Amino acid sequence: DRTGRQVHLVSRPDGWPRPSDFALVKVDVPEPADGQVLVRNRFLSVDPYMRPKMNDVRSYTPPYELNAPMDGPAVGEVIASGSPERAVGEVVVHQAGWREYAVLDAARTRPVDVTVAPASAYLGVLGLTGFTAWVGMVDIAAQQAGETVFVSGAAGAVGSVAGQIAKLRGAARVVGSAGSAAKVARLHELGFDAAFDYHDGPVRRRLAEAAPDGIDVYFDNVGGEHLEAAIAAMKPFGRVAMCGSISSYNATEPPPGPRNLALAVGKQLTLRGFIIGSHRHRHDEFVAQVAGWLREGAIRYEETVLDGIENMVEAFLGVLRGDNTGKMLVRSTPPA
């Protein structure tokens, strides 16, 4: 009989999560029923959005239940199938992450083409974070050639792809902010025209130095001081794609709003939030374009990988702290 490990949320974090809010639990893995598959998960995703889901507050997704496995993106291979639609050996992405083996309906898995990119890429550049970057830049910000673009969280999974997409779409200047000198150096390698460490003085000043003529587009992964600085730097008719606000995910008090929001009137700005799950109709076009760029070597991606599900919580805390460059993942190698 097969057993596998999975991570449960056992208490709701107050502020920064603690390892004791989680438990690694060994469970029996059932055989797949009719219509189901058994997937041996090879890569598990940790994502910032998981932090708000740990609170007992309904946002755009329901909160995680206590004493049950969490979910999230994962990729793995089918090792037993009760469905004619999935063959043993197929590599699939699905949402039953945070566990070594997943038993789920075949219809809730999507096969991926590992000849285009390795399986792990389907959790990053060709997965949810790449899709988020593409939709945010192309559809939400409607970024045009010749524009100046600012991306926060720029060394992360979404931000590093968003900045490169802007460049590929003809941005005149792409500016990124990130949390360390090493990340800033990496942004230059990825083709960002300017980059700064947001710890080095007020964001507003660093942004004014990096984009002295102002910005047309802001891709916001961070919120707070970054958003306020971007509003100050916006040119008339500028657009903000509001993707996330990681600077407040562990806050115990609601963060203050941007104090200069009223500037949006005179500058005629558009600030538009989006949730990637509402843009599934764009998925095929996203894959076609980004897979093409990958084949041409026009877009690069990075991963920060920890080994073993026992390091899943550490990886999750790491993504909130900024330990990662590119997509943060856990490699899982349960017996086949």
Residues of this chain that bind ligand NDP (CB under 6 A): 47-49, 128-129, 132, 153, 155-159, 178-180, 183, 221-222, 243-244, 246-247, 274-276, 319-320, 322, 324, 328
| Nearer to ligand NDP (CB atom), residue 36 or residue 324 | 324
Answer for the pair 23, 68: CB distance below 8 angstroms, yes or no. Answer: no
Residue 183, helix vs strand vs coil:
helix
Distance from C-alpha of 312 to C-alpha of 74, rounded to nearest angstrom: 12
CB neighbourhood size of 318 (10 A): 16
| Nearer to ligand NDP (CB atom), residue 120 or residue 324 | 324
Q: State the nearest-atom distance from the C-beta of 273 to ligand NDP, in Å.
A: 7
Q: State the nearest-atom distance from the C-beta of 198 to ligand NDP, in Å.
A: 6
Q: State the nearest-atom distance from the C-beta of 322 to ligand NDP, in Å.
A: 3
Q: State the nearest-atom distance from the C-beta of 103 to ligand NDP, in Å.
A: 26
Q: State the nearest-atom distance from the C-beta of 161 to ligand NDP, in Å.
A: 8
| Nearer to ligand NDP (CB atom), residue 37 or residue 227 | 227
Phi, psi (degrees; rounded to nearest 5) at 35: 85, -5
Residue 81, helix vs strand vs coil:
strand
Q: State the nearest-atom distance from the C-beta of 304 to ligand NDP, in Å.
A: 8
Classify strands 148-151 and 173-178 as parallel, antiparallel or unpaired: parallel
Q: State the nearest-atom distance from the C-beta of 252 to ligand NDP, in Å.
A: 14
Q: Which residue has the tokens 């469905």?
A: 83
Distance from C-alpha of 203 to C-alpha of 131, rounded to nearest angstrom: 27
**What DSSP designation does 25 have?**
E
Counting DSSP H helices and E strands in the chain, the numbers are: 9, 15
| Nearer to ligand NDP (CB atom), residue 97 or residue 159 | 159
Pair of tokens at residue 206: 């660093």
| Nearer to ligand NDP (CB atom), residue 22 or residue 219 | 219
| Nearer to ligand NDP (CB atom), residue 185 or residue 275 | 275
Listed in sequence order, the residues at least 6 apart from 280 whose beta carbon sits closer than 8 Å to its beta carbon are none
| Nearer to ligand NDP (CB atom), residue 78 or residue 123 | 123
Residue 245, helix vs strand vs coil:
coil
Strand partners for 77: 40, 91
